[in-house]
Structure 1
Amino acid sequence: MVDAFKVQLQACAERLMFLIDCFSRTRVLVVGDLTLDEFLTGQVERISREAPVLILRHESTKQVPGGGANAVYNLAKLGAHVKAVGLLGKDEQGRSLHELLVVAGIDTQGVFFDPHRPTVTKTRISGHSRQSVTQQIVRVDRKSEQLPDTDLQQQLAAYIYSQIDSVDAVVCSDYGDGVLTQPVINAALAHPRTIVDSQTQLAQYQKATIFTPNLPEAELAVGYQIDDATTLAQAGKDLLALTQATHVLITRGEQGMSLFRRDGVVTHIPAFNRTEVFDVTGAGDTVVAALTLGLASGASFWEAAILGNLAASIVVRQFGTTTTTALEMKTALQALLEE
């Protein structure tokens, strides 16, 4: 970590610890593309005689919330009171995901079942031999390209409007799977503190509070490659102009994060963990969760970005879609200060 930044971190450590303690008092509504992540693992037995493919002897299947549901799950694990809004199919995967959310103490009154579309499911099939590590072989995605019926879109929007005054923040977790249509987006933007994590179509979320694109998403939105300080600075300006947001936070992997303000101020935050990165799956959802809880607890945008960075530095140390807790964040912060 850069010495100058470490001095800044030490100066605000007590404040950050206080903000993390406030997470459990926050109420957040998440509108998102709820996804079930499946991890199917087996041992390779032989090559099939039917085709040149591996035959796996099944060992385990793990199901965890993914996509927008991972954002929901991250917020709950960090201690927030969470209301989930989205769609599930009337299928086994939908029932499994719904149960995972309920068991985690998440309010699912805003989760509706769509009889015409399947639950978005991403099944990762991995294999290993007796003396090798497990490796992913293929991923099977299950989803519909059609938008939800108009009636369902209006039901989602109506529920969001009914809950606006009861939450401290609204998160839009848009993976492009059809939940966040314009009526739903308009309802979400009615809250004065709306955090947007969208893979595409950022311009649909005009005047949201803050956007959190990663580098590829930012490049897609501005239409050019971000490969140096000049293009990064220009991208921040262009994204603010495109979205009319108050802030944009571009997450840049091992290069850290860059926070852009409408008044032209840019702050660069170094990555807290660059050496123990095993899997970045779902790390963006973790950033959004911790950042949102920081803002809902009274943090400045810089402080909230620090908290998002801290939370992400923990989950990338683990394989698969994972979460962290407020206690783990405090422990990680203390470890950083003692380095």
Structure 2
Amino acid sequence: MILEAVKALKGHKVMIIGDLMLDHYLMGGVERISPEAPVPVVQVKEESFLLGGAGNVARNIADLGGKPLLIGAVGTDRNGEILESLCEHAGLSTRLIQDGGRPTTVKTRIIAHNQQVVRVDQERVGPLSPAEMDTLFLILEENLPDFPVIILSDYGKGFISKAFMDRFMPLVQARSTPPLVLVDPKTVNYDLYRDVDLLTPNTKEASEGANLPVSDRSSIIAAGRAIFDRLNCRNLLITLGPDGMALFEGRDSIRHIPTFARKVFDVTGAGDTVIATAALALAAGMDLLTACTLANYAAGVVVGQVGAASATPEDLDETIAELPEPQVTAWTE
């Protein structure tokens, strides 16, 4: 059944709205300490750029055979040009708002001997201007009818704001068949996510959103219910790292999906893969448990790779064929 679900992903549409960023990697080696300060001197041997933030979510959907539409903002700078070029190379449809008032968000990671030495962030955090917000909603009104599922990819850079949500949720809910709204949350913005269809926090984000410690089954259930009380969301998926996922279909139907990761090298971007896979599966008409099970397989693939990776249908087929069917269990207090 799951193998058939992988085939069914192809060609379905998902809209991604959120914070776009450029992941910049400088890789090399260290042979000496600087005479200017007690810091290593990294001799750069390789440089690369990757789509980050909402762009990585869209890339995951495209790599799974889906048809994403990526909506975000970039600066009128060289990094914005690089980001747009990466989107084009990845085959992504985009509607990008050019914001001359702030730079394209860039995260530069300097890596020596496979170890991160330092990360340098270039960004300006803040909401869109009123004129840019109007442009954004013209784009949304034009494209909403074609998309059954929308992801809000919030990295706390300001694209997802109170002003945005105050206009976005009524726009969505006014449709005769409202699209599903999925949110990868940022703790600082939790109160913006009222009434969404699926929230996908990790353990730390769930703990912060519930204002409760999360460590074992009973505390996960308590935190999940506290999030329902706070936000009135319809469903909740808490990703538990090596312990899999807890899927709440409402406050009282809670199921545990065990992890499928055979080895864990790097969890970078795993949350992007989870929400991208679940959204595409829902767009293909699957039920939520099947969508989240598929997302769990995909996350198991990407954590076995270094950097913000993505899973392909071939990766999923291979992983599903090699591993036993998941033993999904109901959780009660």
TM-score (norm 2): 0.92
For the pair 1:288 / 2:307, whether they are aligned, the reply is no
* Distance across 2 between alignment mates of 1:292 and 1:169: 6
Contact 2:19 / 2:154 at 8 angstroms: preserved in 1?
yes
Which runs of no fewer than 5 residues in structure 2 stay unpaired? 173-177, 327-333
- Change in Cα spacing, 1:186 to 1:67, as seen in structure 2 (3 Å) is same
Equivalent residue for 2:181, pick from 174, 180, 194: 194
Equivalenced residue count is: 318
Equivalent residue for 1:309, pick from 296, 304, 318: 296
* Distance across 1 between alignment mates of 2:8 and 2:19: 27
- Change in Cα spacing, 1:290 to 1:44, as seen in structure 2 (3 Å) is same
- Change in Cα spacing, 1:188 to 1:314, as seen in structure 2 (3 Å) is farther
Alignment identity in percent? Answer: 34
For the pair 1:247 / 2:253, whether they are aligned, the reply is no
Aligned twin of 2:6? 20
* Distance across 2 between alignment mates of 1:330 and 1:300: 19
Contact 1:188 / 1:194 at 8 angstroms: preserved in 2?
no
Equivalent residue for 1:56, pick from 28, 35, 42: 42
Deviation at residue 207 of structure 1 after TM alignment? 1.3
- Map 1:131-280 to 2 at 5 A: 134-186=114-166, 188-189=168-169, 190=172, 191-200=178-187, 201-262=189-250, 264-273=252-261, 275-280=262-267
Which runs of no fewer than 5 residues in structure 1 stay unpaired? 1-13, 129-133
* Distance across 2 between alignment mates of 1:184 and 1:328: 36
Contact 2:127 / 2:160 at 8 angstroms: preserved in 1?
no
* Distance across 2 between alignment mates of 1:262 and 1:38: 40
Residue range with higher mean Cα deviation, 55-64 or 280-289: 55-64
* Distance across 2 between alignment mates of 1:157 and 1:183: 11
Aligned twin of 1:122? 107
* Distance across 1 between alignment mates of 2:282 and 2:110: 38
What amino acid does structure 2 have at the position aligned with 1:68? A
* Distance across 1 between alignment mates of 2:276 and 2:216: 28
* Distance across 1 between alignment mates of 2:167 and 2:276: 20
Per-residue CA distance 1:252-298 (angstroms, 9 max, x = gap): 1011100112251100111111x510000000000001111111111
- Change in Cα spacing, 1:111 to 1:91, as seen in structure 2 (3 Å) is same
Per-residue CA distance 1:15-58 (angstroms, 9 max, x = gap): x2222112112011100100111111112131122221211221
Partner SS for 1:38:
strand
Partner SS for 1:116:
coil
* Distance across 1 between alignment mates of 2:251 and 2:49: 44
What is the alpha-carbon root mean square deviation over aligned residues? Answer: 1.6
Deviation at residue 304 of structure 1 after TM alignment? 0.7
For the pair 1:81 / 2:61, whether they are aligned, the reply is no
Partner SS for 1:98:
helix
Deviation at residue 61 of structure 1 after TM alignment? 0.7
* Distance across 1 between alignment mates of 2:76 and 2:249: 43
Residue range with higher mean Cα deviation, 186-195 or 164-173: 186-195
TM-score (norm 1): 0.90
* Distance across 2 between alignment mates of 1:230 and 1:333: 30
Contact 1:48 / 1:55 at 8 angstroms: preserved in 2?
yes
Deviation at residue 337 of structure 1 after TM alignment? 3.1
* Distance across 2 between alignment mates of 1:165 and 1:332: 35
* Distance across 2 between alignment mates of 1:188 and 1:286: 24
